[in-house]
Amino acid sequence: MTSRRARTTTLVAVGIASLGLILAGCAGGGGGGGEGTATLEMQTGLGATDPTLAVLKDITKTCTPANTKIDLVPMTNTYEADMKTRMASGDLPDIWSTHGWSLLRYSSFLEPLNTQPWAKNFNKALAPAMENKDGQFFALPINTDVSGILYNKDTLQKAGVDPSTLTTWDAFTAALGKLKAAGVTPISSSSKDSWMAGNVADFMASGAFTDADLQQFTDGTFSESGYTTMLDEVQKWAKAGDFNPDFSSITMDEIGRGLGKGDVGFVFVQNSLANTALEQNPDAKLGFMPIPAFTGSPYFVGGEGTAYGTWNKGKHKKQALAYLACLAEPDNLGKLAKALGSIPGLTDATTDMGALQDSYESVVEPGTYPLHPYFDRVYLPNGMWDTMVTTTGAVISGQSQPKAATAQMTQQFTSLFTK
């Protein structure tokens, strides 16, 4: 199996830093295409209603190489499973979103990009997650993912909650009580867009283990105590009614709209959801905060965010590389990173996080808090994400107990680790 090792970097380094939508080729920065007309399939990794997809559509109009069409395919709920099937069959898109796995899962199928003209601007904060031992990386990083707990500033202020003081889970839990008393949903998540439930565990697990525990994962043993402790906290919130009552039916877009309206206090989610919230309420004041830790200090999670690689055996690799080079231009990359609510993945693009800029400047840019990798990407075998999602959702919905959910994770970990 692919080896995994701990990857933690400080945010000082970070601071350096289908709908079948077919777009006809335009004269743009993408450069020339091949002979004839080539149609490239691009799996965007963006939902059909994601505001970032609209930005990508506009940029693609000027980035499509001559004699080329780009088919921008929105993400489905089965994206990860679909990509695994396509890897097994050897039938891959020309370009696809690597969703955090450009190195560990997809690198053998992707063209190395470290020799591209724009590669000199690669944000080295991403190196632990995206580069191999030879210094190769395999996807254009649109943004450097720095995620915490997203919140509505006005909602918290009205409930008497100061996010800067929520440095422990006890303090965070007390804040949930204040929000509930104020008539607000303290935490919103979903088992319909089920990855959102998985985020709760994935965000929290990155600070639930000692270094010795993490070494156990690397060596092939699931460290149960920290995981159970984390799920105990989740169950405490669920029993107190701190999660949204429509957990089983709500969608991510609805959660974003609720955050914008001020009906929701906190969401464990990447910053891109802020754009959906702002569509609901352009005047919404939003922020994101470090994640409290069970061991150690508060932290952010992240690394590789939205990134695009090109198939190393694709028939239209020249056009695909030209298209990526156009996306990498500072103005284009800056627009995409802003739409994602994050820092650009290349250092020559300007950081503009829009409504989240204040949080970036106050809690990210100073480099006070470490950036931990997403737990599942480093410490869990390939195939564990779905189990993390379902077991966390079962604890939130009351269908499972923390120890039983942990036992299920242990069983799956042991089964998959040796494969």
Mean per-residue pLDDT, 138-167: 96
Residues 81, 221, single domain; the answer is: no
- The 10s digit of each residue's pLDDT in 45-57 is 999 988 899 999 9
Q: Does residue 70 sit in helix, strand or coil?
A: strand
Determine the pLDDT at residue 14: 41
Determine the pLDDT at residue 33: 37
Say how far apart CA 232 and CA 93 lie, in whole Å.
Answer: 41
Residue 121 domain flag: yes
- The 10s digit of each residue's pLDDT in 409-418 is 999 999 999 8
Determine the pLDDT at residue 2: 37
Residues 107, 204, single domain; the answer is: no
Determine the pLDDT at residue 8: 40
* pLDDT tier at 1, thresholds 50, 70, 90: very low
- The 10s digit of each residue's pLDDT in 107-135 is 999 999 999 999 999 988 888 889 999 99
Last residue of a domain, one of 347, 370, 393: 370
Q: Is the pLDDT of residue 9 over 80?
A: no
Contact 45, 79 (CB under 8 A): yes
Residues 274, 324, single domain; the answer is: no
Determine the pLDDT at residue 31: 38
Q: Whole-structure pTM over 0.85, yes or no?
A: no
Residues 322, 411, single domain; the answer is: no
Residues 322, 352, single domain; the answer is: yes
- The 10s digit of each residue's pLDDT in 330-382 is 999 999 999 888 889 999 999 888 899 999 999 988 989 998 989 998 899 98
Residue 2 domain flag: no
What's the domain count of the chain? 2
**Which percentage of the chain shows pLDDT scores above 90?**
76
Strands 264-268 and 185-187: parallel
Residue 292 domain flag: yes
Residue 221 domain flag: yes
Q: Is the pLDDT of residue 148 over 80?
A: yes
* pLDDT tier at 7, thresholds 50, 70, 90: very low
- The 10s digit of each residue's pLDDT in 183-228 is 999 999 999 988 899 999 999 999 999 999 999 999 999 999 999 9
Give the list of residues 6+ apart from residue 245 with CB closer than 8 angstroms, or none: none
On average, the pLDDT of the chain sits at: 90
Domain that holds residue 406: 148-302+375-417
Residues 115, 165, single domain; the answer is: no
H/E element, 277: helix 273-280
State the first-to-last Cα distance of the chain, in angstroms, to the nearest integer: 6
Return the structure tokens found at 308.
């695009």
Residue of higher predicted confidence among 8 and 409: 409
CATH of the domain at 364: 3.40.190.10
Residues 395, 413, single domain; the answer is: yes
Residues 286, 381, single domain; the answer is: yes
Give the list of residues 6+ apart from residue 30 with CB closer than 8 angstroms, or none: 62, 63, 64, 65, 68, 319, 322, 323, 325, 326
Mean per-residue pLDDT, 262-288: 94
Residues 348, 384, single domain; the answer is: no
Residues 278, 294, single domain; the answer is: yes
> Greatest CA span in the chain, whole angstroms?
65
Q: Is the pLDDT of residue 6 over 60?
A: no
* pLDDT tier at 400, thresholds 50, 70, 90: very high
Say how far apart CA 345 and CA 142 lie, in whole Å.
Answer: 5
Residues 114, 255, single domain; the answer is: no
Residues 250, 390, single domain; the answer is: yes
Contact 118, 328 (CB under 8 A): yes
